[in-house]
Amino acid sequence: MAASKKKWGKLGKLTLAMLMVGTVVLSGCSSSESGGESGSGDEKQVTLKVEIFDRGTPPSPYTVTDNYLTRYIQDNFGTPNNINMEFVPIPRSEEIKKLNVLMASGGDVPDIVFTYDTPTFNRYAEQGGLTELTDLINEHGPDLKKFLDGDALSYGQYKGEQFAVPSKRAFLGKYSSFIRTDWLEKLGMDVPQTTDELYEVLKAFKEKDPGETGGKVIPFGMTIEPAQYDPLIWSFIEPTTEEQKYTLTQKLGSNDYPTLLPGFKEALQFMNKLYNEGLISRDFSLDEDKKQLYQDVQNGLTGFLTEDYPNLYYDEGTYDNLLKNKPEAKLEPIDPFTNSEGKRAKPQYAPNGMYIMIPKSSERSVEAIKYLNWLSKPEVLLAMQNGVEGENYKMVDGIPMAIEDAPQEIKDRLHNAGADTSIIANGNFVGTEEQNREKMTSNFPERFQDLHRKAMEISMTDTFLPINFDRPIEAEGKYGTNLQSKYEEMIVKTAMAKPADFDKTFESAMKDYMVSGGQAILDERTEAYNEMKSK
Amino acid sequence: MRGTVYLRRYWQLYALLVLPLAYFIIFKYGPMWGVQIAFKDFNFFQGIGGSEWIGLEAFREVFQTQDFYRTLRNTLMLNSLDLIVSFPAPLILAIMLHELRLAWFKRLSQTILYIPHFISWVIIGGIVYQVFGTQSGMINNVLMSLGFDSVPFLTEKNSWLITYLATGVWQSAGWGTILYLAALTGINKELYEAAEVDGAGRFKRIWFITLPGLKTTIVTLLIISLGNMIAIGFERPFVIGNKAVLEYADVLSTYVYRTGLESGQYTMATVVGLFQAIVGLVFILGANYASKKLTDESII
């Protein structure tokens, strides 16, 4: 396998070199076992360049651009279609910056690029750097259209033109809350069902210190990342009219922010109270990557937190480490934040994931759409996400279950399986919604699967979708990043203010936010809403 | 005629200049081509040449932004405080080292003092959090175990300023002594001996011999620092700063990073960069002129 691939790679380079010199004398030297790549002679082999995320060193003998799945793609899509697949690595952590440089360079840009960042997509589309895809999809993408059924495709439109293929999310849940139930038992308290009950529990955690932390207890683990404050803040937002929802929400980056919605100030006031009573992490403004949060949870200092629903339950993850330090610990999903209607309102993901784009300068747009179409065939998706039946997985009730005791080298085949390689799918698609969820749960260690199931369910309880306008709000692209920073500054400052100074602090922070672009976004959204209504 | 003879004789010295000159042309003058982005509605895909001219529109927009003034104020504030606190530090340290008589102890101290200069700001940031954190920082742990209240070194803006300045001194003071120590070796030893014979004490010797001997170096470094008043490194405020103290920690370089690299508004970011360069030039020429008038020392 590896040897033939190497040979094939060399041959591909040779082919390219020859094409460049302008000599097409290929038929003689193409008798390798990969077979048929340019044997017919009349069709020239082409190269399709596809972006791939570089997340660090993969298990040996693989590399980021040459591994089981890239070879699978070459052998099953590339070779039969006379296409040489070339993967262009982009470091995950500086994805947008690198992509900007690549796009600006013009000639060397991959034929397929992608990003999760809405403003980046909007900017490329606005500046005319992307290929319009409607006709290409209609002609070459029947399976792709079927896969992105319903209105999923519309998320890739910019001002009515199809400038991206959106990837599809299998599961839309976002957040769950978690509490140390062993602490509750110790205090003889019930699992809190409302925000008020939660507040009582947090106070008891602080005063009675059931974890025996020696005064270091952090009743509510907080950071300056959305997952830690979003669930709390959104639960304070009052029921709103449709008009308020559209005009008063602010979309910064790829997320909706409730800055102007009624109830936002009360949410911050509650956080101010929690902070001043010592119920949330004192240094939360310093924790921009959840590192301190995880450390505190693992050391058994944290009593309650909100987080992206699956994050605590990975093998060797946060909960595992907590159990190593405190074998008696129990960290279970709960859903305590209630709004004024008694609902557990929280945001969920839009059905789209990445924006997959074909730069205008690409000459391989047909092949690119063919590739995306091939990726969305159910049998391909199954193989790309689960490997080989009997070796990597076996079918149980229609769900491909990973074989846990498979040899490591077999498991390593799938080290980059998922949205990094099956770029059109975010999460596992194996059948019905129920089956998808079961499959995703099966990716977690068996001891945590029940907890994971529960967290998943909570993450989808009383959720609401992001607001989607039929045209982009330009002010959001312009001021978004800056306003995100202002928003975080507002949260930190109002939380840390003395209770007596809260109003003053809130007003000055809000004023700063509004003049820094908040007002411009509000005006543009109001205009866009009225326009939409008058249609 | 004399010129060619001169050149033929010393051509090796000029050849040595080729590499540094190439460096400045390629990395300092070459990128100036991109300055025109400040006057254009920069479009990624059309490149610099293909983008439309918009005159001074971007300048007008930047000068209307509140954040620009906040970051400008912070840049000047942090740099002036740095000048007051961090500028004399290497000088004092160098004189102290100079006064040491034990050679091995002097060398050891120098090495220890240089080390922080080689630690990247990202790592220093991590250390600072561990040492100065409110909840889990070393200093506050000690304070609290002694029964004192914790001090928000990193999250209250005024205490943060002190942390910021102190970290700067710690990181750069040792390294900054090098130029002074080099200048100190140039001072004639006999002057000290003569002064000693005349009965001058240690402080008199420092005041009448060491400091005058360092005057040129001090003035040169001061002019350079004044030229850098408006420019500020990115890493230090970005790493040591945090959301709670953004009111002081947000400076021009972090602002350029946010608007340019993160939001992709290259025009705005270039405007700010150009503004910094022009103000920096005015500062350095002004300082040079003033120094020439006052002390007869100047660098141009």
Interatomic CA distance for residues A415 and B216, integer angstroms: 62
- A15-21's contacts with Cβ under 8 Å and 24+ in sequence apart are A15/A45, A15/A84, A16/A47, A16/A84, A19/A44
Has residue A283 been placed in a domain? yes
For residues A139, A143, A149 and A153, what is the CA-based torsion angle, rounded to 10 degrees? -50
Query: Could you report the per-residue pLDDT of B119-175, keeping only the tens digit for each?
Result: 999 999 999 998 998 888 899 989 988 888 888 899 898 999 999 999 999 999 999
The first and second tokens of residue A392, run together, are: 């990597």
Is residue A509 exposed (0-12), middle (13-18) or buried (19+ Cβ within 10 Å)? buried
The three-state DSSP-derived secondary structure of A298-310 is HCCCEEEEEEECC
Compute CA distances B16 → B6, B19, B30, whole Å. 16, 7, 21
Query: Could you report the per-residue pLDDT of B24-35, keeping only the tens digit for each?
Result: 999 989 988 889
User: Please, where are the H alpha helices in A188-254?
Assistant: 195-208, 226-236, 242-248
Cβ contact, residue pair B67, A120, below 8 Å = no
Angle, CA of B245, B250 and B254, to the nearest 5°: 135
What is the residue range of A11's domain? 1-44
DSSP, collapsed to helix, strand or coil, labels residue A406 as: coil
Contacts of A41 (CB under 8 A, 6+ apart): A26, A27
Cβ contact, residue pair B43, A128, below 8 Å = yes
Has residue A286 been placed in a domain? yes
Interatomic CA distance for residues A66 and A81, integer angstroms: 19
Has residue A267 been placed in a domain? yes
Has residue A185 been placed in a domain? yes
User: Would you state the pLDDT for residue A486?
Assistant: 93
Q: What is the pLDDT along chain A (535 residues), one digit of tens a residue?
A: 343 444 444 444 444 444 444 333 333 333 333 333 444 444 688 999 999 999 888 888 899 999 999 999 999 999 999 999 999 999 988 888 888 888 877 678 899 999 998 888 998 998 899 999 999 999 999 999 999 986 788 889 998 899 999 999 999 999 999 999 999 999 999 999 999 999 999 999 999 999 998 888 999 999 999 999 999 999 999 999 999 999 999 999 888 999 999 999 999 999 999 999 999 999 999 888 899 999 999 999 999 999 999 999 998 899 999 999 999 999 999 999 999 999 999 999 988 889 999 999 899 999 999 999 999 999 999 999 999 999 999 998 888 988 888 888 888 998 888 889 999 999 888 888 889 999 999 889 989 999 999 999 999 999 999 988 878 898 998 888 889 999 999 999 999 999 999 999 999 999 999 999 999 999 999 999 999 888 7
Number of C-alpha atoms within 13 angstroms, CB side, residue B108? Answer: 6
Considering only CB atoms, A516 lies closest to which of B67, B136, B243, namely B67
User: Would you state the pLDDT for residue A30?
Assistant: 37
Say if CB A364 and CB A46 are below 8 A apart. Answer: yes
Q: Are residues A492 and A343 in the same domain?
A: yes
Has residue A449 been placed in a domain? no
- The phi-psi region of residue A431 (left if phi > 0; otherwise alpha if psi is between -120 and 50; otherwise beta) is left
Low-confidence ranges of chain B (pLDDT < 70): 1
Cβ contact, residue pair B244, A493, below 8 Å = yes
A interface test, pick of B44, B153, B234 with most A CB neighbours within 10 Å? B44
Compute CA distances A498 → A272, A495, B163, whole Å. 8, 8, 22
User: Would you state the pLDDT for residue B1?
Assistant: 60
Considering only CB atoms, B264 lies closest to which of A100, A492, A493, namely A100
For residues A399, A404, A406 and A407, what is the CA-based torsion angle, rounded to 10 degrees? 140
Q: Which of A159, A194, A173 is nearest to A307 (CA)?
A: A173
Strands (DSSP E) contained in A108-236 are: 113-115, 157-158, 161-162, 165-169, 175-180, 218-220
Compute CA distances B211 → A125, A451, A487, whole Å. 63, 71, 51
* Min Cα–Cα distance to chain B from A364, Å: 18
Cβ contact, residue pair A515, B66, below 8 Å = yes
Q: Beta-carbon neighbour count of residue A17 at 10 Å?
A: 10
Q: Is B246 part of the contact surface with chain A (CB cutoff 8 Å)?
A: yes
- Phi–psi pair at A279, nearest 5 degrees: -95, -15
Query: What is the domain count for chain A?
Result: 2
Provide the residue count of chain A: 535
User: Would you state the pLDDT for residue A98?
Assistant: 86
Has residue A287 been placed in a domain? yes
Interatomic CA distance for residues A483 and A213, integer angstroms: 38
Is residue B258 exposed (0-12), middle (13-18) or buried (19+ Cβ within 10 Å)? buried
Say if CB A143 and CB A376 are below 8 A apart. Answer: yes
Cβ contact, residue pair A478, B135, below 8 Å = no
Give all domains of chain B, ordered by start, each with its CATH number: 59-104+172-295 (1.10.3720.10)
Compute CA distances B62 → A428, A481, B65, B247, B269, whole Å. 46, 16, 5, 19, 9
* Min Cα–Cα distance to chain A from B271, Å: 16
Q: Which of A246, A250, A268, A269 is nearest to A258 (CA)?
A: A250
The three-state DSSP-derived secondary structure of B126-190 is HHHHHHHCCCCCHHHHHHHHCCCCCCCCCCCHHHHHHHHHHHHHHHHHHHHHHHHHHHHHCCCHH
Considering only CB atoms, A482 lies closest to which of B134, B244, B258, namely B258
Helix-then-strand count for chain A, H and E: 21, 18
User: Would you state the pLDDT for residue A204?
Assistant: 96
Provide the residue count of chain B: 300
User: Please, where are the H alpha helices in A395-462?
Assistant: 408-412, 433-442, 449-459
Interatomic CA distance for residues A411 and A492, integer angstroms: 44
CATH number at residue A284: 3.40.190.10
* Min Cα–Cα distance to chain B from A487, Å: 10
B interface test, pick of A94, A121, A482 with most B CB neighbours within 10 Å? A482
The first and second tokens of residue A411, run together, are: 């498991």
Give chain A's contact residues with B (Cβ, < 8 Å): 96-97, 100, 103-104, 106, 119-120, 123-124, 127-129, 216, 218, 224, 281-283, 285-286, 288, 292, 360-361, 477-482, 485, 488-489, 491-493, 496, 512, 515-516
> Peptide bond before A466: cis, by omega within 30 degrees of 0?
no
- Phi–psi pair at B241, nearest 5 degrees: -75, 165
Q: Which of A285, A287, A320, A280 is nearest to A301 (CA)?
A: A280
Contacts of B231 (CB under 8 A, 6+ apart): B252, B253, B276, B280
User: Would you state the pLDDT for residue B31?
Assistant: 87
User: Would you state the pLDDT for residue B113?
Assistant: 92
Cβ contact, residue pair B66, A477, below 8 Å = no
Compute CA distances A309 → A334, A461, B143, whole Å. 11, 12, 38
Which residues from chain B sit within 8 angstroms of residue A491, using beta carbons?
Answer: 243
Supply the angle between the helices A474-496 and A502-513 in degrees, to the nearest 10. 160
Has residue A165 been placed in a domain? no
